[in-house]
Homo-oligomer: A and B are copies of this chain.
Amino acid sequence: MPGQRRRPTTHDVAKAAGVSAATVSYVLNDTPGRRIGAETRDRVTAAADALGYRPQLAGRTLRMGRSNVVALILPEWPIGTGLSAVLEGLARELSPYGYSLALVPTSAAEHVVAHVAQSLAPAAIIVFDPEEAPERVPHHVPLMIGIADMPGTFAGARYNFQKRMAAMQINYLVDRGHTRIGYARSNNEHLRLFVTARAEGAMTAAAERGIPDLVFFDMNAALDDATAALRYFQAQGLTAIAAYNDETALPLIGAAQRNAIRVPEDIAIIGLDGMPSGEFSFPALTTIHQDSAVMTKQWTEHVMALIDDQPTPSLEMMGLAELIERESV
């Protein structure tokens, strides 16, 4: 019966190949500065293969003082934030480099980051909430921080990037002739950092385009709030709304429809995210799409550079966000 035997170790492989355990390690790790005879090498790999040998990470971690795990501190964001795409994407991207992603909820311990740094000995830690971050991080564990403009920050989560996406919304509306513009913010407290960043970006962009008085409204993603928002914006004589994200924009479109407000004729609406369902609303939602695949690839390269102590690649924001023109503007 397979799977009952003790897991094979380097020694088992060594014995089977007729060499020492050290040689096995050299061969399987391609240790630099160690030249092993081709014939020996073959014997070792063959034996390892035959036994189904896989290095046990715990041993390696203990020896090295560092695991090949990248820990991600789960932020308390609501689902549908694109967080899921990030999680899956990172896990997949990290894998070919030999790293795996461990999810650790913020609630796991008092000082999560410090705790994780010690107990998991991760190769790197990814944390989105900057408040978690500056704690004393023992040892030399690279840290990536979301939503802040500092070294070791992901492109897609940078404060500046959030601002630029919101600016894209405003600029598109202005390009289409709108001058009286409103901005619908999300009420969600967990999203505050993003909301602040985007609202600021929208305001700056508006000002640059000669619109000093961007009108704000705070709402939940629900029909009644959306109806109130619409009434408010229309009372202000606005002709266009930029929404914090698609989840905020979609109820606005739904509310418009229910109140016989025509979109975009009476009021134009632009979202941000590129959620699939935005394609099927009526009218279909014009929005800014964030390419999470490109994003997670960038993040991974960033993390890998930090781990290898190499200069981090420049934060290229091209291609991360893209306008999707549909019907709502």
Contacts and interface: CB of A to CB of B under 8 A. Distances in A.
A101 B103 contact: yes
Give the oligomeric copy count. Answer: 2
Interface in A67-123: 67, 69, 74, 79-80, 83-85, 87-88, 91-92, 95-96, 100-105, 107-108, 114-115, 118-121
A52 to B, nearest CB: 7
B276 A247 contact: yes
A69 B205 CA distance: 47
B54 A119 contact: yes
Contacts of A59: 62
Contacts of A280: 223, 226, 250-251, 253-255, 281
A120 B100 CA distance: 10
Interface stretch (A2-10, A151-159, A187-195, A298-306): A2-10
A136 interface: yes
Given A67-B58, A277-B250, A103 B88 contact: yes
Contact of A282 (B74, B108, B115, B254): B254
Chain A interface extent, by class: 35 or more
A104 B278 CA distance: 31
A209 interface: no
Contacts of A226: 280
Interface string A36-74: 000000000000000010111111011000010100001
A72 to B, nearest CB: 9
Contacts of A251: 279-280
Contacts of A136: 2-3
Nearest to A92: B105
Contact of A5 (B102, B108, B138, B250): B138
A57 B279 CA distance: 47
Contacts of A275: 277
A2 B100 contact: no
A228 B121 CA distance: 55
A56 B107 contact: no
Contact of A61 (B58, B108, B118, B253): B58
B279 A277 contact: no
A257 interface: yes
Given A87-B88, A223-B280, 12 more contacts: A52-B138, A54-B115, A55-B119, A83-B88, A84-B85, A84-B88, A95-B105, A95-B107, A246-B277, A247-B276, A277-B278, A282-B282
- Minimum-distance CB pairs A-B, first 9: A84-B84, A254-B280, A2-B136, A91-B103, A58-B61, A277-B277, A54-B118, A58-B62, A3-B138
30 contacts: A7-B121, A52-B118, A54-B115, A54-B119, A56-B118, A56-B119, A56-B121, A57-B120, A58-B58, A58-B62, A59-B62, A62-B62, A74-B91, A79-B84, A79-B85, A87-B103, A91-B105, A92-B105, A95-B107, A95-B108, A100-B103, A100-B120, A221-B276, A246-B277, A250-B277, A251-B279, A254-B280, A254-B282, A277-B278, A280-B281
